[in-house]
Each structure stands twice: as C-alpha cells, then as structure tokens.
Amino acid sequence: MRLVIVSNRLPVTIARNGDEFSFEESVGGLATGLSSYLKSLKSGTGEYSDYLWVGWPGINVKGKKRQEIASRLEHDFSCHPVFLSGETIDKFYHGFCNKTLWPLFHYFPLLTSYDENLWINYIQVNEIFCETLEKILKPGDALWIHDYHLMLLPGMIRKKFHDLPVGFFLHIPFPSFELFRILPGEWRRGILEGLLGSNLVGFHTYDYTQHFLRCVLRILGIENNLGEVIFKGRLVKADTFPMGVNFQKFNESSRRKDVQREMEIFKRAFKDKKTILSVDRLDYTKGIGSRLNGYEEFLNIYPSWRGRVILVLAVVPSRDKIEHYQSMKRQIDERVGEINGRFGSPDWTPVIYSYRYLPEPQLMALYNICDVAMITPLRDGMNLVAKEFVSSKSDLKGVLILSEMAGAANEAGEAVIINPNNVKEIADAIKEALEMPEEEQIRRNQIMQTRLKRYDVFHWAGEFMHSIGSAIEEQKSLEIRLLGEEQKQKMIGDFKIARRRLIFSDYDGTLVAFAEHPLLAKPDERLLNLLKQLTSDPKNDFVLISGRGRDILQKWFGDYRISLVAEHGVWIKKSRGEWKNPKCLSKEWMAKIRPILDVYADRVPGSFVEEKEFSLVWHFRRADPEIASLKAKELMDELVNFTANIDVQVLPGNKVIEVRNAGVNKGDAVRSFVGEGEYDFILALGDDLTDEDMFRSLPTSAYSIRVGLNRSLARFNIQDHTNALDLLEELVR
Ligand code: GDG
C-alpha cells in the first residue's frame, strides 16, 4: 500500500541558478521527522511499503520547466508538486493561512484579518490540491493530510473517494470555542465539515482535541462518544498524538564529526561562559520579546551573573513578507541592542544574536554545548526545539526552561515551567536553571529522555497510521449491516410476490427529518404521494407508529387508509376505525413530574415541555447543545431516582427525554397488528431507542431497518430518512 502525504510545502528546497535548478531536502520539524519515517517504510515489512509526498514546491515555473522539476522530484525524492502562481500563494499562504488562521488559532484575535477574498482563495487552493490528488490517487492508497493550510481538503476528497482512508493532523493549537466562534459562520462550519471528511483527526494535546470536539458540538450540533463523531453517516475519530522527534539522531549527534567541528568553534567563541540557547522561527507566537525582557530582568536583579552568561539568540527568518513580522524583527534588533548596550562590556556580549537559518550541524552543536534552553512561546502547538534539546543531551546535563503555553509542556513536567507573561518568573527560572545541581539535571533529563525515546517521531507516525486503520475498522463494523443492493433486491422481490404486506414505520427521523419544533416537521408532498401509492394497493397495510400525540397524527394522516399508533402505543387507530386506548393507564404521576421538567425548561433556554395525553416530553433540540447535553444527563439522573417507586419509564430519545407509563411500548402495538392478518411480507422502519421494542417484537421472517448508523436489533441499517423514502418508493414502483 502507498501512503500519500499532503502538506502545504514539499520537504525539498529548490533553488534556481539561471536555467539550472538545485534540489535539497529541507530539514527541521515535520520535514525531517516524517521523512525519516517514510524512508523507513520502504525498507520495512509494514502495511505501507511506498510513499509519495504532495505539496507546493516553493517555486513557480511554467511549461517544460514544470515537467523537468516534477520528474526530478518524483524520481529523486518521491514528491509530487502542486504548482501555484505567485499571486495565489501570496493570498493563500501569506493571506488566509497566516493572517487569519495562524493568529486566531494562536489566540491573537486582534491580529486576525477577516477578508472574504482570502477565504475564497483558501477554498480555491484546497480545490487545486484536491484536483491534483484526484489525478494521482490509486486504489489501495491512504492519505495523510497535514496542517492548517489544508483543513478543507479532507471534506473535498471525501466527496470523490468514499472509501479512501484519510487522516488529518493539525500541527498548531486548535483554539477554544470562544476563539473559534469568532470566525464568520460559513468559514467555521466549512472548516469543521472539511476536517470531518477524514477518518481520523489528530492533535498534539488532549486540550486541542477537546476544543475541536466542543466546536463540533456547539457549531454543528454533533455529539461525540469518547472522541467519535458520526458525520454524514460516517464515523470520524478525533484523538491526541503528541508529535515526537528523531530521538536517536539527536542523542547520537555529538558523535558526528561535522557537529564536533561546530562545537569546537562555538566553545572558543563562548569561552568559559554559561550559555542559554534560544532558537525559533521569527514569529510573534514564540515570545522572543518576553524572553529578552526576562533575560534583561535576570541580569538586572542577579548582578553576580553579569559577565558569566551568554544568551545565544538564534532567530530563523520566516514570513518576512507580512508587515507584522517585519516590525517584530525591528523590535528584536532594538531590544538586543539595548540589552547589550546596557550590560555589555568590551570582553562580554550578553546576547549573541543571529538572524539566519542555521545549518543542521550548527544547530546540533548548540543543542549539545548550551547549558540551558529557554523556550518561552506565548502559544505553540507543540515545540520540537524543546524536545530536540533534551534528546541531544547524551550526558544528561542541561536544563530546559519551557513555557506552559507550549504543547510540549504537557509531557515535560521535569522542565522548569514558566508563564511567558511573567518577566520576574522568567528571570528566576534562568537563575534556577543556571544553578541547578548536576544530579538534579541528570535526574530530570533521564525521565524526559525515557519518554522522548519511547514516543519518538516513528512511534508518533506509526501510531497515527494505526489509528486510521482502527477508525476504519470501526466504521466497517457499522457499515457491515448497511442494507446492500443484493439484500434490497431480495426484499423488493419478496414484496412483489407477497399476497399480504404489512409495513410499520416510525415518523420523526424515519420518514421526515427532525425540525427545530415538532410542529414544523410536517409531512411533505413526497411523503404524502408515497402514502397514496402505498394505500392504493389493497395488498398493503401501513401502520404509522409514532411517539406523537393522537391529535396531530389525526390531523396530518386521518384521511389516509392507514393505521395510526400514537404515544408509542397508548392510542391505536386501525385504518378507518376509531381511536382506542387498549390499556388502562394512569395519569396521576404527570402532575408530579411536570414541575421537574418545567424547571429544566426554564433553566435551559430554547428547551420546552410537551404534554401528551399519557406522557411528558422535554425537548431540547433548539437549546445550546452543550448546556442541553449536560442538563439532559442531570435530568435523566433526577428522573430515574424520582420515579423509582412510580410505574413509569424514562426514555432518552433524539434531543428529547420522555416520561411515560411503564408497560407501554411499540412492541405491544406491533404484536396486535401482526396477529391480525396472514401477512407474508412484514417490514418495520424506525430510527430511535423506542423503535427497538418494535424490532424485538417482529417475527423472525420480517425485514427490520434502523435508520441511522446506530447499533440495533434491526436486521439492517440505512443512512437517513431520504434512504427510507427511496426504499419505500422502490417497493411500490
Ligand atoms: C509547527 C508548530 C509544532 C528551527 N530553526 C532551525 C531549524 N529548526 C527546526 C527545529 C525544529 C523545527 O525547525 C521547528 O519546530 P517547532 O516545533 O519548534 O516550530 P514550528 O516551525 O512553528 O512548527 C509547532 C510543529 O509544527 C510540529 O508539529 O511543534 O508548535 O508551530 O525541528 O530543529 N533547523 C535548522 N536550522 C535552524 O535554524 N537546521
């Protein structure tokens, strides 16, 4: 099987020298980590033995040159380019990605721009990726899409490839609902629905996963069960996979000759001073300013350290086309100048500052020789630099100072954890780190390294891929009972030859979609025509078996030659007959329960109580989904306790909780109809828990179908009410 990786950028840097192109593998983060994993696939015996990486090559050329670059990428790097024009990439990468999604997802709403044109461009670029993939995907491929640039792509792909395994991983934080909701409605729904095209959506931390699930609930109204969501009839799993680094590579780096050469050079430059390392891309989320403030404060309040310590500040150029990044660069230059001017002396520079990309041996040399790493992002999805620093310490000596706002902080309890907004805290942390006894450093690093070694980047990618497989297995276990074409044709055949046919159907959720208020879920033309056709054949008996009150059923269906069952079997009206109440039921309990439900209706805006003749229902479809979901659990508890000694039952339904007399259920009603005629074809359709009683009471020869993908006693499942109508239409055609 082939694994197709998709990310905004290919892991190859292409440089142009006149008419010639040179190609070099990119290093750092996703590129390095994932590349090692992918290469290991080719030599391994696992499920995937081949890979292809699809993304923007970082260069725009036309005509023959494109072909030349594409075949070189394919041949030498297993990459496939998605070419984008300069203008498109400008609006996409520098636009929606980094002026809207990046700041908002990192909790900088004031820096977020809301430009409809940029959103449209974002959709278009995701479509271009989708079109490219359509041309190259083959049966047996699996797709792993990366990061915030391509959040619409899973949904687009799903429309074209129903069964393709698709995983999505978000490398940045997923913000809390309060932040995410700031996006205009169409954008936020589009992003969530796009992500839900995947089989698996992965995040770095438990919090991000929960934020995502909460947004799915609050914005799309879809609940999750232990991280699993049913979206458009498919199971989608959201889970946490903290990304690791290539531990072994960093841990063994001090043995590399090229790294050792760089270590010697740095050691000479730093002399006998203690060193604090800071490495980041230039970005306002990385908290470089706070770090400089903290360091300045440290020199200010702990003067004995002056002249004995150096801050090695490596800033890597990034997104310098965006104005905000340019001004940030100027501020950093100025702050470094101020600190060096204020404290420096002819033989001591407090901050050694570089603004460039460091070749890998240099970065590894710094990881190896610096005593402390100070990583203080204001917000960071994970932060791999922190993990790389700790992994590099083969002698276990060194201290990591880490912001609590980095995803990595969840796994690095042994680091000196700071709040990046507290200058004094940073200053104290620097002192603590520089003065930490060696045994303590070793003890802490040992624990962190054990974790980093076990959960390295190979483990991370392997576990993610394995989870896509499990999500698909679970999806299949749901689909296995989906009514297939062959079974459907058999059913139609049985229907055609039958002399007497009996069809039971629930109403809400089975023949019509749910509406915000029950009165709005009226039968439409399509359904009424279907009923006319069904009842025009004297061989057919149709029973509408619902939880609704008899008044509304009478109003909507009283004129049809069909039987009606109201309130789950409290009332039964045989076709053309009178309403009858077969059981002697009590109503006394209703006066006691009603006030409890009223309290919930008052407390949960948008919810209301429906009183039927023999049952009470609390409806919460229109309420805030999160509050309602919590309150529904509370109400269930309260009702179950309160009704322990009363002869009633409490039933959770689809956005409702119903209380009704015990001993009344659709099963009894079904039995009374089945016993009446010599039916040689019986079919029952229903969508919720109350319909399970109906399925349970059917003869074994009957066809039973649960609408929706829930586990059920029914023999088959179909996706939704439109499939139910399609099926009934096919029967009578
Ligand atoms: C995003 C999320 C998340 C950096 N400078 C140089 C260099 N690097 C390498 C590091 C590291 C990577 O780049 C940076 O990774 P980070 O995790 O620190 O940050 P982002 O680039 O913002 O990445 C982040 C990450 O995705 C992965 O999911 O952790 O939260 O924002 O590997 O080594 N490498 C070299 N020279 C440099 O100057 N050679």
Atom of ligand 1 nearest to the CA of 359: 39
* Banded pLDDT at 322 (limits 50, 70, 90): confident
Please indicate whether residue 352 or residue 475 has the higher confidence score (pLDDT).
Answer: 352
What mean pLDDT comes out for the span 212-217?
Answer: 95
What mean pLDDT comes out for the span 687-709?
Answer: 93
What mean pLDDT comes out for the span 41-53?
Answer: 81
Beta-strand relationship, 703-707 and 716-718: parallel
Task: Identify residue 350 by its one-letter amino acid code.
Answer: P
- For residue 28, pLDDT over 70 is answered with no
Query: Two tokens at 646?
Result: 């009363």
Which three-class secondary structure state does DSSP give residue 240?
A: strand
Query: Two tokens at 369?
Result: 């020789």
pLDDT value of position 320: 73
pLDDT value of position 313: 97
- Cα dist from 438 to 215, 397, 430, 442, whole Å: 46, 7, 15, 6
Would you say 156 and 127 are in contact if contact means Cβ atoms under 8 Å apart?
yes
- Supply the residue whose CA is at minimum distance from atom 9 of ligand 1: 28
* Banded pLDDT at 34 (limits 50, 70, 90): confident
Query: Two tokens at 135?
Result: 């041309």
- Supply the residue whose CA is at minimum distance from atom 12 of ligand 1: 29
What mean pLDDT comes out for the span 18-36?
Answer: 78
- Supply the residue whose CA is at minimum distance from atom 26 of ligand 1: 171
Which residue of 102, 385, 390, 455 sits with most ligand 1 atoms within 8 Å of its CB, as the best mutation to test the pocket? 385
pLDDT value of position 48: 83
How many angstroms is it from 71 CA to the middle of ligand 1? 29
Atom of ligand 1 nearest to the CA of 33: 32
pLDDT value of position 45: 66
Query: Two tokens at 566?
Result: 């109201």
pLDDT value of position 351: 97
Which residue of 382, 388, 391 sits with most ligand 1 atoms within 8 Å of its CB, as the best mutation to test the pocket? 382
Tell me phi and psi for residue 420, to 5 degrees. Answer: -70, -10
Cα separation, 699 vs 50, whole angstroms: 52
* Banded pLDDT at 37 (limits 50, 70, 90): confident
- For residue 249, pLDDT over 70 is answered with yes
Cα separation, 668 vs 665, whole angstroms: 6
- Supply the residue whose CA is at minimum distance from atom 37 of ligand 1: 358
Q: Which residues are catalytic?
A: 506
Query: Two tokens at 493?
Result: 């055949």
Atom of ligand 1 nearest to the CA of 318: 21
How many angstroms is it from 316 CA to the middle of ligand 1? 10
How many angstroms is it from 171 CA to the middle of ligand 1? 11
Task: Identify residue 639 by its one-letter amino acid code.
Answer: L
Atom of ligand 1 nearest to the CA of 360: 39
Beta-strand relationship, 372-375 and 399-403: parallel
**Residue in this structure with the two tokens 């069964």, named with its chain if needed:** 163
The ligand 1 site (C-beta within 6 Å) comprises 27-30, 171-172, 243, 279, 281, 316, 357-358, 360, 363, 380-385, 388
- Cα dist from 346 to 60, 141, 350, whole Å: 48, 62, 11
Burial of 525 (0-12, 13-18, 19+ CB in 10 A): exposed
- Supply the residue whose CA is at minimum distance from atom 14 of ligand 1: 29
How many angstroms is it from 688 CA to the middle of ligand 1? 49
* Banded pLDDT at 125 (limits 50, 70, 90): very high
What mean pLDDT comes out for the span 262-269?
Answer: 96
Task: Identify residue 717 by its one-letter amino acid code.
Answer: N
Cα separation, 366 vs 356, whole angstroms: 15
Would you say 188 and 180 are in contact if contact means Cβ atoms under 8 Å apart?
yes
Residues 6+ apart with CB under 8 A from 395: none
- Cα dist from 220 to 174, 189, 216, 438, 481, whole Å: 16, 7, 5, 53, 26
Atom of ligand 1 nearest to the CA of 407: 30
Cα separation, 457 vs 115, whole angstroms: 37
User: pLDDT tens digits for 452-470?
Assistant: 999 999 999 999 999 999 9
- Supply the residue whose CA is at minimum distance from atom 39 of ligand 1: 360
- Per-residue DSSP letter, 115: -
How many angstroms is it from 334 CA to the middle of ligand 1? 24
- For residue 706, pLDDT over 70 is answered with yes
pLDDT value of position 27: 66
Least confident of 33-47, 260-274, 471-485, 697-711: 33-47
How many angstroms is it from 390 CA to the middle of ligand 1? 15
- Supply the residue whose CA is at minimum distance from atom 13 of ligand 1: 28
pLDDT value of position 368: 98
Helices (H) and strands (E) in the chain, counts: 26, 29
Cα 268–Cα 274–Cα 275 angle in degrees, nearest 5: 80
Cα separation, 524 vs 518, whole angstroms: 14
Q: What is the CA radius of gyration of the chain?
A: 32
Which residue of 203, 357, 384, 460 sits with most ligand 1 atoms within 8 Å of its CB, as the best mutation to test the pocket? 384
Q: How many CA atoms lie within 13 A of 104 on its CB side?
A: 21
Cα separation, 32 vs 35, whole angstroms: 5
Cα separation, 657 vs 604, whole angstroms: 14
Which among 238, 247, 350 has a CA at the least distance from the CA of 291? Answer: 350
Atom of ligand 1 nearest to the CA of 388: 33
Which among 375, 420, 424 has a CA at the least distance from the CA of 399? Answer: 375
User: pLDDT tens digits for 653-693?
Assistant: 889 999 998 888 899 899 989 988 789 999 999 998 889 99
How many angstroms is it from 359 CA to the middle of ligand 1? 13
How many angstroms is it from 385 CA to the middle of ligand 1? 6
* Single pTM value for the model: 0.83
Task: Identify residue 661 by its one-letter amino acid code.
Answer: N
Which three-class secondary structure state does DSSP give residue 285?
A: helix
Q: Where are the beta strands (DSSP E) in 592-655?
A: 608-611, 615-619, 648-652
What mean pLDDT comes out for the span 375-387?
Answer: 96
What mean pLDDT comes out for the span 362-381?
Answer: 97
Q: How many CA atoms lie within 13 A of 424 on its CB side?
A: 0
- For residue 480, pLDDT over 90 is answered with no
**Residue in this structure with the two tokens 């039958």, named with its chain if needed:** 498
How many angstroms is it from 451 CA to the middle of ligand 1? 20
- For residue 525, pLDDT over 80 is answered with yes
pLDDT value of position 431: 97
Atom of ligand 1 nearest to the CA of 243: 28
How many angstroms is it from 89 CA to the middle of ligand 1? 21
User: pLDDT tens digits for 533-571?
Assistant: 999 999 999 999 999 999 999 999 999 999 999 999 999
Percent of the residues in the chain that have a pLDDT greater than 70, as a whole number: 99
Which residue of 383, 403, 405, 460 sits with most ligand 1 atoms within 8 Å of its CB, as the best mutation to test the pocket? 383
Query: Two tokens at 593?
Result: 């329960």
Percent of the residues in the chain that have a pLDDT greater than 90, as a whole number: 77
Query: Two tokens at 351?
Result: 């901050």
What mean pLDDT comes out for the span 476-481?
Answer: 78
- Supply the residue whose CA is at minimum distance from atom 19 of ligand 1: 383
- Supply the residue whose CA is at minimum distance from atom 7 of ligand 1: 28
* Banded pLDDT at 642 (limits 50, 70, 90): confident
Would you say 709 and 233 are in contact if contact means Cβ atoms under 8 Å apart?
yes
* Banded pLDDT at 232 (limits 50, 70, 90): confident
Beta-strand relationship, 608-611 and 615-619: antiparallel
* Banded pLDDT at 699 (limits 50, 70, 90): very high
- Supply the residue whose CA is at minimum distance from atom 10 of ligand 1: 28
- Per-residue DSSP letter, 128: H
**Residue in this structure with the two tokens 């079109």, named with its chain if needed:** 131
Burial of 266 (0-12, 13-18, 19+ CB in 10 A): middle
Q: What is the mean pLDDT of the chain?
A: 93
How many angstroms is it from 285 CA to the middle of ligand 1? 13
- Supply the residue whose CA is at minimum distance from atom 28 of ligand 1: 171
Task: Identify residue 545 by its one-letter amino acid code.
Answer: I
Cα separation, 268 vs 255, whole angstroms: 19
Phi-psi category of residue 276: left, alpha or beta, with phi > 0 → left and psi -120 to 50 → alpha: beta
Contacts 24+ apart (CB under 8 A), 256-260: 256/361, 256/364, 258/361, 259/361, 259/364, 259/365, 259/368, 260/365
Query: Two tokens at 28?
Result: 């750092």
pLDDT value of position 42: 74
pLDDT value of position 386: 97
Atom of ligand 1 nearest to the CA of 316: 38
How many angstroms is it from 172 CA to the middle of ligand 1? 12
Atom of ligand 1 nearest to the CA of 408: 29
